[in-house]
Amino acid sequence: MSEIFIKKPELLAPAGSMEALDAAIAGGADAVYFGASVFNARMNATNFDREQIERAIGKCRNFGVRSNITFNTLIYDREFPRALDEVQFLYNCGADALIVADLGLAREIKKRFPDIELHASTQMSIHNTDGARFVASHGFDRAVIARELDRDSIARICKDSPIETEVFIHGALCVSHSGQCLFSSLVGGRSGNRGECAQPCRLPYSGEYPLSLKDNCLAGNMRELLSLGAASFKIEGRMKSPAYVYGVCSIYRRLIDESRNATDAEINELAALFSRSGFTNAYFTKSISSEMNGIRTKEDKEQTVTSAEFDIKSRKRAVSANAVIKTGEPATLTLTLGSVSAGASCEAPEAAINAPLTDEAVRKNLLKFGSTDFACEDLSLELENGVMMPVSRLNALRRDAVAALEAALMPKRRILVPSPNKTAECGGYKPIKSARFMRKEQISIAAREYFDIIYLPLDNFSPEANGIMLPPVIFDSELEAVREKLERAKENGAVHALVSNIGHLSLARELGFVCHGELRLNVTNIHGANTLLSEALVDIIPSCELTLARLADLGARVSSNAVIYGRIPLMLLEKCVIKQTAGCQSCKKGEAVLTDRIGEKFPVYREGEHRNVLYNSRVTYMADKADELISHKIFAGHYIFTDEDEKGVDRIINAYKNHTAYTGDVRRIAKK
């Protein structure tokens, strides 16, 4: 029986600065990801200006290391000219791939730059095979899959995905599914989806730290990881020091190359570089519990290594060279790196009068690669006796040859001029009032009269509603059970499906539901809206991060469905916070409350078995802003009912009918 060989995955390292980039290369990274000064999800990292970006991409190319540029924030309509200008700059610099979180941006990039690789950011919440298939159908070459996946789920996506998969193996964990956290944005005014997260998850709630997780570490699971078939292993840490980047890369480089799990000593080395009360591998091993929780303790800080022994300057890329210096023909120097050769020439040497060139002198000057990324110990030299050339000409020949080699390493690319955008027409679209409820007991007679569509969670569906909310997360292993529930719901009168993830669209369409896009699809621009509307969505609830002015930019078919009432979901949690903070009885009941340091209370509700959704402490309320809503193309609106009883629902409906002002603390949709 022949042995099965699995291609070794690339080791992908973070770089928040030029020093960290050097450290990643020195540590043995196959690829590096870093961000420009705009449109990346770590805006608080040092990041790179344009001159540094050009230099960084060039350095990666010279060392044979791939450069993946993080362009992984949501984009507003009025930002597209600037965003596409930045993409063209990165494209012209020779970036290998762009990591993108915005479907609309991806669509526009592919129109203009069809041959650049696109990687679907973890912010796109790809947690099943259909999600990978979806982004593949929209021009992506790689899916960065959700950090919450277990080994079996990863294996299935890697096996069945039509494109490459990237798996997160080490570093900080967000407690919320990536791309599904609005906590920092709606409560603190700093959007995680825009690279400005204030990390409210690291703060105490109800006297504990139920939202702060230990760092992920799969070094002890390397043999299993290598068997799954992922294309890339990703280390988190663009906010980390060069010492961290070098140390973590070096250890994982050894583990991958030697196909083995880490020793206890290597795990301790990783912890010395950075940890939060140790590490966790609970998502990967399906051992999710409160043991995952951890904070950065005084002891952690004291043991952190602040420097490491490495010298990137001493590392060079070996090239071979051939030089020909003869009278009557231009002098040439050709450099070869792998399969790429390039060279330069200069005017022919003259006959020497009294100081002919020597073999030693020529080699000394042509091999003086200095601060470049190259070194040569293999120079084939054809030197005619009795000729001379100025040293300055030899040095210029070497510099020109190096420049020619760097140019030859640049990818060959094309830029297209796309056809003018066609905005999706409403086609007689009628604004629809919709509302989602937690349970059927909340749905009053007035609600059935007032709303066109009433959604209930799939697990709680009842004929009092005409629509179901698909679960926000459906792993491949859960797909058949969800399908059976959807079929039963349809038999009991469900017509509409509220879809909150790109990986769930095909299932809802296949079963014949009228599909509507939920706010978790993170639509912030007309290009993203049109992409999703082309997938048979009737309409979309836009991102709750948008102001009234930005909602108006989307057009009525999208803006009209904005959330105008209710507690907005702030976090989607794979880990059961209810059980941890309030006990098993509360978990069975399906709800709990987290209280922050200033007394704000955040309800938490169970979603499925043990997933949780954390909601805002304050309701969004716009009943007394009807004129503003209409002037910004919000003609109907979406309502979210969580803890209201039937009478409370009726009070809200009457308030919106009569444009009643609200007394108390509420959240408003900002104007600009």
d(CA 640, CA 394): 74
Backbone angles phi, psi at 478, to 5 degrees: -100, -5
Per-domain boundaries in the chain: 10-173+213-312, 316-408, 434-658
Q: What whole-number distance in Å separates Cα of residue 601 and Cα of residue 615?
A: 9
Q: Are 513 and 496 in contact (CB under 8 A)?
A: yes
DSSP string, 256-300: HHHT-PPPHHHHHHHHHH--SSSEE-HHHHT--SGGGB----HHH
CA 301/CA 7 separation, integer angstroms:
38
Q: Is 483 left (phi over 0), alpha (psi -120 to 50) or beta?
A: alpha
CA 412 to chain centre: 27
- pTM more than 0.85: yes
Residue 431 is given by DSSP the state P
By the 10 Å C-beta count (0-12 exposed, 13-18 middle, 19+ buried), 407 is classed as exposed
Using 50, 70 and 90 to split pLDDT, how confident is the model at 616?
very high
What would the pLDDT profile of 529-548 be if each residue is shown by its tens digit?
999 999 989 999 999 999 99
If 0-12 CB within 10 Å is exposed, 13-18 middle and 19+ buried, where does residue 460 land? middle
Q: How many percent of the chain have pLDDT more than 90?
A: 84
Q: What is residue 661's three-state secondary structure?
A: coil
C-alpha span between 486 and 504 (Å, rounded):
12
pLDDT band with cut points at 50, 70 and 90 for residue 21: very high
Q: Of 346-355, 561-570, 617-626, which gets the smallest average pLDDT?
A: 346-355
Structure tokens at 163: 């494109």
Asked if the model's pLDDT at residue 600 lies above 70, the reply is: yes
CATH architecture of the domain covering 10-173+213-312: Alpha-Beta Barrel (3.20)
Q: Give kind and range of the element (H or E) at residue 597.
A: none
The string of pLDDT tens digits covering residues 387-402 is: 999 999 999 999 999 9
Q: Which of 284, 389, 269 is nearest to 327 (CA)?
A: 389
Instruction: Tell me how many degrees the CA angle 377-334-27 measures, rounded to the nearest 5.
Output: 50
Check residue 424 and give its pLDDT: 46
In the prediction, which pLDDT does 112 show? 94
Non-local CB neighbours of 232 within 8 Å, separated by 6+ positions: 9, 10, 11, 12, 31, 142, 164, 165, 166, 167
Q: Phi and psi for 432 in degrees, rounded to 5?
A: -120, 125
pLDDT top residue among 168 and 378 = 168
pLDDT bin (cut points 50, 70, 90) of residue 437 is very high
Say yes or no: do domains 10-173+213-312 and 434-658 share a fold.
Answer: yes
pLDDT value at position 184? Answer: 95
Cα separation, 465 vs 403, in Å, equals 68
Q: What is the pLDDT averaged over residues 76-89?
A: 94
- For residues 43-63, one letter each, b for 16 or more C-beta atoms within 10 angstroms of the residue's C-beta and e for the rest, the string is bebbbbeeebbbebbbbbbbb
Q: Is the pLDDT of residue 42 over 70?
A: no
Query: For 317-329, how does the pLDDT look when each residue is reduced to its tens digit (9 = 90+)?
Result: 999 999 999 998 9
CATH 1.10.10 for domain 434-658, yes or no, is no
From 25, 54, 93, 95, select the one nearest 317 (Cα to Cα): 25
Please check the confidence at residue 419 and state whether its pLDDT lies above 70: no
Residue 334 phi/psi, 5-degree rounding, is: -115, 130
Please return the burial class of 578, using the count of CB atoms within 10 Å of its CB with bins 0-12, 13-18 and 19+.
buried
CA 16 centroid distance within chain? 15
Per-residue confidence at 520, pLDDT binned at 50, 70, 90?
A: very high
Q: How many CB atoms sit inside 10 A of residue 555's CB?
A: 19
Mean pLDDT of all residues belonging to the chain: 92
Residues 477, 481, 485, CA angle at the centre, nearest 5°?
Answer: 150
Starting at the edge strand found earlier in the chain, the sheet holding 611-615 runs 569-573, 611-615, 601-607, 591-595
637: pLDDT strictly greater than 70: yes
Contacts of 265 (CB under 8 A, 6+ apart): none
Spatial separation of the C-alpha atoms in residues 448 and 649, rounded to whole Å = 11
Give, in degrees to the nearest 5, the angle at Cα 16 between 74 and 135: 35
Average pLDDT over residues 497-512: 97
Would you report the helix, strand and coil content of the chain in percent, each value rounded to 5?
40, 20, 40
The pLDDT value given to residue 271 = 95
**Which has the closest alpha carbon to 90: 63, 72, 69, 59?**
69
pLDDT band at 587 (very low <50, low <70, confident <90, very high): low
pLDDT at 305 over 70: no
